[in-house]
């Protein structure tokens, strides 16, 4: 029940299921759990979760080192990878600026990002979340990065693909009108 | 029950409520229903619903006649008006291209739109819905409008404001990366 999304009934169902499961299957689950804590670490370059250091993205020969996409959490890397379009590098901040929760610039992996901006990097895409904290983090990072002479871009906010204008909230509709592009 | 969103129970509840309501209130409802059909018509310029012709938008002195925002339905005008940012004109197509439903270009108010593109109009914003039909309609209109020498733009598709990248679908995430803008 301490795991996310598992309530009393789900916990009981899992417990009884494990009791009925053959020993070798529970042993494999035990090994997997141990592996997670022992083998999965954070990449020393981009802070993404990885079992090798540097991670598969940072050590890849086929990815474009000129573009760094900055995200808040490792799961955001998966969200962007699913598009199968982005072939650059990543940088995981491990959170977003949030004065209410006491998260300041020093709590995020910002120094590491600045250290990566050399002559090879031509563009930094700020793909922090499109909410208050993510937007504040993007503005903060843009101010730090632009003096370094790198192009800084922000992912587009707008109406989600497949939806209807009727369901768009005012702020999203405004951003969608503001961010219109020539066709 | 023939009205949208009203099932058997809701219909019964409404019927009994009307039986209990004083006569003057039901008379006002009757008048309102009659007014809707008698007074509300479509604007001869933009096809938006209106009780004057031309409508309040088309006859306004304070709105910018250089920009026309093209939408599918009258309710989409309300969605954009809620942003309180757009001060141009509208054009309602009364639908979107949909071969499956047998809706072709001749079923939409496209001729009227082309007729409005004179020397005063400098930009047409295609704000059709961000789904298959709306996108097809936007592409069709862009092909017709661009030879007329007018700037044609499409509203931005991307991650909705206030959301989290984790919940963005692949196509929206792709559009958001593709449509990134320099900050």
Distance separating alpha carbons of residues B142 and B121, to the nearest angstrom: 15
From chain A, pick out residues whose CB is under 8 angstroms from the CB of B182.
151-153
- Cross-chain residue pair A156–B165, CB shorter than 8 Å: no
Establish if B143 belongs to a structural domain.
yes
Q: Which residue of B has its CA nearest to A143?
A: B183
Task: Give the CA diameter of chain A.
Answer: 62
Distance separating alpha carbons of residues A63 and A37, to the nearest angstrom: 28
**B131, B137, B165: best mutation site toward chain A, by most A Cβ within 10 Å?**
B165
Nearest to B127 by CA among B163, B55, B75: B75
Distance separating alpha carbons of residues A96 and B160, to the nearest angstrom: 18
Angle, in degrees to the nearest 10, between helices B74-81 and A170-178: 90
From chain A, pick out residues whose CB is under 8 angstroms from the CB of B71.
165
Establish if A148 belongs to a structural domain.
yes
Distance separating alpha carbons of residues A83 and B180, to the nearest angstrom: 14
Establish if B54 belongs to a structural domain.
no
pLDDT tier at A36 (50, 70, 90 boundaries)?
confident
Question: Would you state the structure tokens that stand for residue A158, as one six-digit string?
Answer: 């707008």
Query: What are the pLDDT digits (tens) for B3-30?
Result: 889 999 999 999 999 999 999 999 999 9
Distance separating alpha carbons of residues B15 and A182, to the nearest angstrom: 52
Q: What is the pLDDT of residue A183?
A: 82
Measured in angstroms, the CA of B90 and the nearest CA of chain A are apart by 13
Q: What is the helix (H) or strand (E) element at residue A116, kind and residue range?
A: helix A110-116
Establish if A58 belongs to a structural domain.
no
- Cross-chain residue pair B180–A155, CB shorter than 8 Å: yes
Establish if B38 belongs to a structural domain.
no
- Cross-chain residue pair B79–A182, CB shorter than 8 Å: no
Q: What is the pLDDT of residue B70?
A: 97
Establish if B58 belongs to a structural domain.
no
Do the beta carbons of residue B173 and residue A80 sit within 8 Å?
Answer: yes
Do the beta carbons of residue B116 and residue B91 sit within 8 Å?
Answer: yes
Query: What are the pLDDT digits (tens) for A47-78?
Result: 999 999 999 999 999 999 999 999 999 999 99
How many domains are contained in chain B? 1
* ipTM value greater than 0.90: no
Q: What is the pLDDT of residue A125?
A: 97
Query: What are the pLDDT digits (tens) for A152-176?
Result: 999 999 999 999 998 899 999 999 9
Measured in angstroms, the CA of A16 and the nearest CA of chain B are apart by 32
From chain A, pick out residues whose CB is under 8 angstroms from the CB of B151.
182
Is pLDDT above 90 for B36?
Answer: no
**What is the CATH number for B87?**
3.40.1360.10
Measured in angstroms, the CA of B7 and the nearest CA of chain A are apart by 22
**pTM score over 0.90:** no
Q: What is the pLDDT of residue A166?
A: 86
Query: What are the pLDDT digits (tens) for B82-105?
Result: 988 899 999 999 999 999 999 999
Establish if A138 belongs to a structural domain.
yes
Which residues, 6 or more positions from B95, have their beta carbon under 8 angstroms from its beta carbon?
Answer: B72, B73, B103, B107, B108
Q: Which residue of B has its CA nearest to A145?
A: B183
- State which residues form the domain around B69: 63-183
Is the N-terminal amide bond of B54 cis, ω within 30° of 0?
yes
Going by their DSSP bridges, the two strands B181-182 and B151-154 should be labelled as unpaired
From chain A, pick out residues whose CB is under 8 angstroms from the CB of B125.
177, 180
Nearest to B177 by CA among A169, A158, A63: A158
- Cross-chain residue pair B157–A158, CB shorter than 8 Å: yes
Q: Which of A76, A158, A180 sits opposite B165 (nearest CB)?
A: A76
Q: CB pairs below 8 Å between A and B: how many?
A: 198
Q: What is the mean pLDDT of residues B76-81?
A: 93
Q: Which residue of B has its CA nearest to A142?
A: B183
pLDDT tier at B48 (50, 70, 90 boundaries)?
very high
Is pLDDT above 90 for B54?
Answer: yes
- Helix ranges (DSSP H) in chain B: 8-20, 23-39, 74-81, 110-116, 132-145, 170-178
CA atoms within 13 A on the CB side of A21: 14
Question: Would you state the structure tokens that stand for residue A28, as one six-digit string?
Answer: 């494999």
CB atoms within 10 A of CB B100: 7
Query: What are the pLDDT digits (tens) for A100-155?
Result: 999 999 999 999 999 999 889 999 999 999 999 999 999 999 999 999 999 999 99
- Cross-chain residue pair B83–A177, CB shorter than 8 Å: yes
CA distances (Å), B76 to each of A73, A168, B67, B93, in order?
Answer: 35, 10, 16, 11
Q: What is the pLDDT of residue A134?
A: 95
Q: Which DSSP category does A4 fall into?
A: T
Query: What are the pLDDT digits (tens) for B122-164?
Result: 999 999 999 999 999 999 999 999 999 999 999 999 999 999 9
SS (H, E, C) A135-150: HHHHHHHHHHHHHHCC
Is the N-terminal amide bond of A183 cis, ω within 30° of 0?
no
Distance separating alpha carbons of residues A71 and A124, to the nearest angstrom: 11
What are the φ and ψ backbone dihedral angles of A74, each rounded to 5 degrees? Answer: -55, -35
Query: What are the pLDDT digits (tens) for B139-148?
Result: 999 999 999 9
Q: What is the pLDDT of residue A182?
A: 85
Establish if A12 belongs to a structural domain.
no
């Amino acid at each position: 029940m301490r795991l996310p999304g598992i309530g009393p009934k789900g916990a009981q169902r899992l417990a009884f299921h494990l009791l009925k499961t053959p020993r070798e299957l529970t042993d494999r689950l035990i090994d997997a759990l141990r592996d997670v804590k022992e083998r999965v670490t954070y990449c020393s370059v981009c802070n993404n979760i990885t079992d090798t250091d540097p991670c598969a993205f940072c050590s890849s020969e086929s990815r474009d080192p000129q573009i760094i996409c900055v995200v808040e959490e490792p799961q955001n890397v998966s969200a962007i990878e699913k598009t199968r379009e982005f072939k650059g590098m990543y940088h995981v901040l491990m959170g977003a600026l949030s004065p209410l929760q006491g998260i300041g610039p020093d709590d995020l992996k910002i120094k590491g990002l600045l250290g990566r901006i050399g002559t090879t990097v031509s563009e930094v895409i700020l793909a922090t979340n499109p909410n208050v904290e993510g937007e504040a983090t993007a503005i903060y990072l843009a101010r730090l990065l632009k003096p370094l002479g790198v192009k800084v871009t922000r992912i587009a906010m707008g109406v989600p693909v497949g939806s209807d204008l009727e369901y768009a909230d005012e702020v999203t509709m405004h951003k969608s009108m503001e961010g219109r592009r020539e066709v």
